[in-house]
Amino acid sequence: MGRNRRNLGEKGERVARDYLRRQGYRILEENYSCRLGEIDLIAHQGDTLVFIEVRTKGSRDFGPPQSSVNLHKQRQIARVAEFYLAEKGLGQVDCRFDVVAVSPSLEGGEIKVELIKNAFPKDGIRTF
């Protein structure tokens, strides 16, 4: 991954994290990683454990950021979430998968943040 893309991704994650905190999410983990992959953010919102994928794009030339959370990525996130739950001993906890899309607004320099709650089910079958 190029340096500019990595910087854009890191900035998007900071923007998303700040946005989620303002929405009442309590961030538990950032960039949780295991042998199965990575989850950008893990948080509590109320009694729900939320696994969050952050997608940042510099333009909308090839669709909105969330369109890159394809079936393969959804299934990978779900597998990492299962690993996390097992690792932490969290058997039957209420959880969901959210996506935060971060992109420049079409009008100019402002950053647009879109939160998609319950973006996909555990088996990963939602398309954007």
Predicted local confidence at residue 9, as pLDDT: 72
Q: What is the mean pLDDT of residues 123-128?
A: 57
Q: Which two tokens stand for residue 85?
A: 């739950």
Cβ-in-10-Å burial (0-12, 13-18, 19+) of 20 comes to: buried
Confidence class for position 115, pLDDT limits 50, 70, 90: very high
CA distances from 57 to 40, 80, 81, 98, 122 (A): 15, 23, 24, 17, 25
98 with 117: CB under 8 angstroms?
Answer: yes
Taking alpha carbons only, the member of 16, 122, 12 closest to residue 71 is 122
Q: What is the chain's mean pLDDT, rounded? A: 87
Give per-residue pLDDT as tens, 45-89.
999 999 999 998 876 667 788 988 999 999 999 999 999 999 999
Could you state, in order of their start, the residue ranges of all structural domains in the chain? Answer: 3-116
pTM over 0.75: yes
- Higher per-residue pLDDT: 126 or 6: 6
Q: Which two tokens stand for residue 65?
A: 């950021």
CATH architecture for segment(s) 3-116: 3-Layer(aba) Sandwich (3.40)
> Which stretches of the chain are DSSP H helices?
3-22, 71-88
40 with 49: CB under 8 angstroms?
Answer: no
